[in-house]
Amino acid sequence: MNKYRKYSPLLKRFFCIGAVATTVTLSVLAPIGVNSVCAALQDSPKNLVDEIWQIVNREYVDESFNQVDWQATRQELLSKDYTSKEQAYQAIRNALEPLGDPYTRFLDPEKFQELTNQTSGELSGVGIRLEFNEPTQALRVVEPIENSPAHKANIKSGDRVLAIDGQSTKGMSLEQASALIRGEIGTSVTLEISREGKSSFDVKLTRAQIELPSVHYSLKQEGGIRVGYISLDEFSSHAAEQMRKAIQNLNEQNVDGYVLDLRNNPGGLLYASIEIARMWLGTGKIVSTIDRIGGKQEYSANRTALTELPLAVLVNGNSASASEILTGALQDNQRAIVIGSPTFGKAVVQSVHSLSDGSGLAVTISRYYPPSGIDINHKGIAPDIELNLSSEQKQLFNRKPEWRATKEDPQYQRAISALHNDLFWQGNQGQSVRPISIR
């Protein structure tokens, strides 16, 4: 791959920590300006500053730069003397802020690596999901990832991690624990584990490349119908492949309909959302993007849908970006009924660049529109059946994530009711009838 010219679009809600990334590349353009400016670029921090300025200058979706004099911004940035990269980083952040775009942002090397790991759908570690238990102030294993070193070592859900390589986890944050557990492939880490009914014990694990599951699915028997339930966490580089396997597996189990859960899915890769939409949608438009000069790119279904069975989609205020592309495509083409709360409302696309010092830059390069052509930016998508959770219900689900897609989940239960209605109409009229919109 030509590392100087290619990039992949990224869609991601900005306030989600450890945002997903794309296949990233280094994008550097020749400096623009007089000889004195060129001489100044021999200084490494200034080189980084100009590297970022050039990318934004070439790609940013708003050619007016939010009425900012972007050329003057460059001269100001290069007129400063930077004594450290940290000082240059802050200057870069200050320069980007007047653009008024929270999605065009600078990422220091640590944040950029997190972003890269998450979007690639892979990381180097032992394969456990951890949570911080407030009442006990302890690190608890949510689950080991299937076929990971942790899974093979028989680490179980509910285990507590007391120490990492001899360092107590008391008072340790999730971020700190994750940093200690991750490392180079082939190296080892020792976890001290506490399990109910047993004395604490050590487990030595060898780090490996872990493929993170973005898709979780199961067959549910719901009042006489067989429901294929699929939860999509994010649109990583492996999400489409995992979604395909989930649909095919559930099809083989002769399900009557599907529930696709996009709640709390912050987004991810543009092309992953298009690929997944094509698995559900036989024909019709999926999304269109418009860049800074008005260039329009349209994406449509290509008659490769894996199922035509009734489909209900669950969304909430944290369903953003690529989630909204998929939701909009399914709703506007009357392929699915959408249930839950209005979505987040992020309708812009970013490219992500790897910079010369290991840091990164996300730049908004285009706006996207669902098949209806409606601008959903800052507005979101209104569900067909709006059913909001109370603050108390949201807090309860945060404490008890295992209640998701059960009888304790009112949005899921409303989706089951919608599937029952859809299947009834199919059986009595020979066709699927989309229920009327309910607010």
Looking up residue 297, the CATH number of its domain turns out to be 3.90.226.10
Looking up residue 113, the CATH number of its domain turns out to be 3.30.750.44
Least confident range of 69-83, 127-141, 292-306: 127-141
CA dihedral 154, 157, 163, 169 (to 10 degrees): 160
Helix (H, G, I), strand (E, B) or coil at 351: strand
Residue 302 falls inside a structural domain: yes
Looking at residue 359, its pLDDT comes to 95
Residue 278 falls inside a structural domain: yes
> Is the pLDDT score of 400 beyond 90?
no
DSSP β-bridge partners for residue 107: 360
Residue 77 shares a structural domain with residue 178? no
pTM: 0.82
Residue 250 shares a structural domain with residue 371? yes
Least confident range of 55-69, 121-135, 158-172: 121-135
Nearest residue to 325 (alpha-carbon basis) of 381, 279, 364, 282:
381
CB 352 within 8 Å of CB 300: no
Q: Of 211, 246, 271, which one is at a domain's C-terminal end? A: 211
DSSP β-bridge partners for residue 290: 296, 367
Which positions are catalytic? 321, 332, 346
Domain with 115 in it = 9-119
> Is the pLDDT score of 146 beyond 80?
yes
Confidence of residue 361 (pLDDT cuts 50, 70, 90): very high
Residue 435 falls inside a structural domain: no
Residue 3 falls inside a structural domain: no
Determine the Cα–Cα distance for residues 278 and 330; give it in Å rounded to an integer. Answer: 10
Average pLDDT over residues 172-200: 92
Whole-number average pLDDT of the chain: 87
Confidence of residue 7 (pLDDT cuts 50, 70, 90): very low
| Enclosing H/E stretch for 278 | helix 270-280
CB 136 within 8 Å of CB 37: no
Residue 94 shares a structural domain with residue 243? no
Determine the Cα–Cα distance for residues 323 and 240; give it in Å rounded to an integer. Answer: 13
Residue 228 falls inside a structural domain: yes
Query: Would you give the DSSP letter of residue 79?
Result: T
361, burial (CB in 10 Å: exposed 0-12, middle 13-18, buried 19+): buried
Residue 262 falls inside a structural domain: yes
Task: Give the model confidence (pLDDT) of 364-373 as tens digits.
Answer: 999 999 999 9
Phi, psi of 326 (to 5 degrees): -65, -45
Residue 100 shares a structural domain with residue 138? no
Pairing of strands 105-107, 285-291: unpaired
Residue 375 falls inside a structural domain: yes
Looking up residue 185, the CATH number of its domain turns out to be 2.30.42.10
Residue 360 shares a structural domain with residue 386? yes
Residue 251 shares a structural domain with residue 296? yes
Q: Which residues contact 117 (CB under 8 A, 6 or more apart)?
A: 18, 21, 123
Task: Give the model confidence (pLDDT) of 235-281 as tens digits.
Answer: 999 999 999 999 999 999 999 999 999 999 999 999 999 999 999 99
Does 33 or 412 have the greater pLDDT score?
412
Q: Which residues contact 420 (CB under 8 A, 6 or more apart)?
A: 223, 225
Average pLDDT over residues 147-159: 93
Determine the Cα–Cα distance for residues 410 and 396; give it in Å rounded to an integer. Answer: 13
Residue 285 shares a structural domain with residue 268? yes
Residue 69 shares a structural domain with residue 139? no
Determine the Cα–Cα distance for residues 32 and 55; give it in Å rounded to an integer. Answer: 12
Please give the tally of structural domains in the chain: 3
Name the percent of the chain lying above pLDDT 90. 71
Task: Find the length of the chain.
Answer: 439
Looking at residue 124, its pLDDT comes to 85
Does 153 or 22 have the greater pLDDT score?
153
Residue 306 shares a structural domain with residue 348? yes
Task: Give the model confidence (pLDDT) of 374-389 as tens digits.
Answer: 999 999 999 999 999 9
Q: Of 119, 140, 161, which one is at a domain's C-terminal end? A: 119
Residue 79 shares a structural domain with residue 130? no
Residue 297 shares a structural domain with residue 271? yes
The label of the residue with tokens 């949570």 reads: 131
Residue 434 falls inside a structural domain: no
Average pLDDT over residues 66-71: 98
Q: Of 76, 91, 119, which one is at a domain's C-terminal end? A: 119
Residue 168 shares a structural domain with residue 189? yes
